Structure 1
Amino acid sequence: MTVIHTLAVENLTLGYGDHTVIDGLDLVVPAGRITAIVGANACGKSTLLRSMSRLLPPRAGQVLLDGKQVHRMPAKELARTLGLLPQSPIAPEGITVADLVGRGRNPHQRMFSRWSAADDEAVAAALDATSTAVLADRAVDELSGGQRQRVWIAMALAQQTDLLLLDEPTTFLDVSHQIEVLDLLTDLNRARGTTIVMVLHDLNLAARYADHLIALADGRVHAVGTPHEVLTEETVQAVFGLSSRVLEDPTSGRPMMLPIGRHNVVAPV
């Protein structure tokens, strides 16, 4: 059964070397919901996610999980509650799909403990959910980019955490597999109440699948709220510098953004 956890960022400042990427940021992740972080390239989306998962220490401020600073929590304790799929994960050379997905169970292993039936069930369920069971005996480095991405998602699912952070989970996937993965995450959220935070580049997919949007610009939160509150023509212009039209998606009823470029634009009558 999923436990509801609180995840918040307070006055967070992050950077690399002399360059500040996130500056004095505050936000609260809605528990038990799906949140999508959107914004232009280099606005700090991935940097924020890395710090929320303890990979990048803050220059100032803090990330709090149930009131505890994540950067002071033991790594294994944190990993039993919060899972991360980074943007460009690297698999050990020659490792098979089944072995890689099985590593998602590491946070649940105790010293001298044996692999259990529960571990087998978790791995099998993750492989089945991501349609990668047929790849179980294949070496990860032999797979296509899309297949590898689904295997990494399977490893994150096998970890069975109550909070799951994903940095561009649809990278390398064709459109059918993008929808499949986002449907899978929605199923996970609805069935288990898993809190999901993901970075997405596609604004329309973010608006369709997320309950909560965070739009970043210049290292700060520009807009936050429901898709209808955040995905507006004004926000798209301010965050992306792009003219657009925002309409109602006839399939989902959510907002849908149509970009306006310099060409192939029908002049108003």
Structure 2
Amino acid sequence: MSKLRLAAEDITAGYGESDILEKLNFEVPAGKVTAIVGANACGKSTLLRTLSRLLTPRSGRVMLDGKAIHKMPTKALARRLGLLPQSPLAPEGITVADLVSRGRHPHQGTFGGWTKADDEAIATALETTKTDTLADRAVDELSGGQRQRVWIAMVLAQQTDMLLLDEPTTFLDISHQVEVLDLLTDLNRKNNTTIVMVLHDLNLAARYADHLVAMRAGKLHIAGSPEEVLTEAMVRDVFALESRIISDPVSGRPMMVPIGRHYSNSDR
């Protein structure tokens, strides 16, 4: 896959009369896994929605390979950029195969016409996400982890070079969180797919991301490698939490241990 350049240039965006992002600049590292972290209401999802054209900035612009995405035809953008929003909703009773096939819509011509390439893309997406055995089942009958993999399969069927995912592990138990993040890492390593995701778990973000972005009050507080970003100072500034940073015994990446009011070394 080719490497796309996606960048927010001096964007201000929000809802109603409130601005959430203020004159924010951000470029997505091509071919990397980027995780965006931060406290609730800091602007993480607003940034992702603006990058994906779900939200139009009040000022500034989002550029994809030198073109303003808000001026691009919808299908042309969807062939290059895949989005998995928070808590997506599937039509009642739709099967897994039917939902995943909707990922091929951007590739259909004016007069439709299903091709062998469409069948192959769907089969590959189902196999990659290990949902091929679920193809004939109704989506609303599946577990949370299965449904999330099906949604990812639909986005994969678009065959885009870049995926934006808003909290892809929310509401999943830890085993399914790891399963989803392993899948996204596989896509990045095998296909060079650029991944940008909003995550709540700092330690999973540090383990899986090549590039970590911490947001605070609608601005980028710090960005860089997990080692550069996940520090005691960042956790204090962004989350108002005292912590200790240790080495993750599995990945060797930094790992955050929170300090509460009731437990410390002096209690032992």
Give the gaps of 5 or more residues in structure 2.
none
Distance across 1 between alignment mates of 2:170 and 2:217 = 23
Distance across 1 between alignment mates of 2:267 and 2:242 = 15
Q: How does 1:1-269 map to 2 (within 5 A)?
A: 2-267=1-266
- Local SS of the residue matching 1:101: helix
Distance across 1 between alignment mates of 2:172 and 2:119 = 27
Query: Aligned AA for 1:101?
Result: V
Distance across 1 between alignment mates of 2:184 and 2:32 = 11
Query: How far does residue 68 in structure 1 lie from its aligned partner after superposition?
Result: 0.8
8 Å Cα contact 1:214-1:225 kept in structure 2:
yes
Moved more, 241-250 or 113-122: 113-122
Moved over 3 A (4+): none
Query: How far does residue 113 in structure 1 lie from its aligned partner after superposition?
Result: 4.0
Distance across 2 between alignment mates of 1:210 and 1:145 = 23
Could you tell me the TM-score, scaled by structure 2's length?
Answer: 0.97
Distance across 1 between alignment mates of 2:114 and 2:62 = 33
Query: How far does residue 265 in structure 1 lie from its aligned partner after superposition?
Result: 2.4
8 Å Cα contact 1:49-1:167 kept in structure 2:
yes
Query: Aligned AA for 1:237?
Result: R
Query: Aligned AA for 1:265?
Result: S
Query: Aligned AA for 1:5?
Result: L
Aligned residues: 268
Distance across 2 between alignment mates of 1:91 and 1:156 = 13
Distance across 2 between alignment mates of 1:146 and 1:19 = 35
Q: What is the percent sequence identity of the aligned residues?
A: 69
Query: How far does residue 193 in structure 1 lie from its aligned partner after superposition?
Result: 0.9
Q: Deviations over 1:6-47 (max 9, x none)?
A: 011111111111111111101111111110000011111111
Query: Aligned AA for 1:44?
Result: G
Q: Deviations over 1:190-240 (max 9, x none)?
A: 111111100010111110110001100000000000000000000001001
8 Å Cα contact 1:149-1:172 kept in structure 2:
no
- Local SS of the residue matching 1:64: strand
- Local SS of the residue matching 1:164: strand
8 Å Cα contact 1:149-1:171 kept in structure 2:
no
Query: Aligned AA for 1:221?
Result: L
What is the CA RMSD across the aligned residues, in angstroms?
A: 1.3
- Local SS of the residue matching 2:24: strand
Query: How far does residue 87 in structure 1 lie from its aligned partner after superposition?
Result: 0.5
Distance across 2 between alignment mates of 1:151 and 1:171 = 15
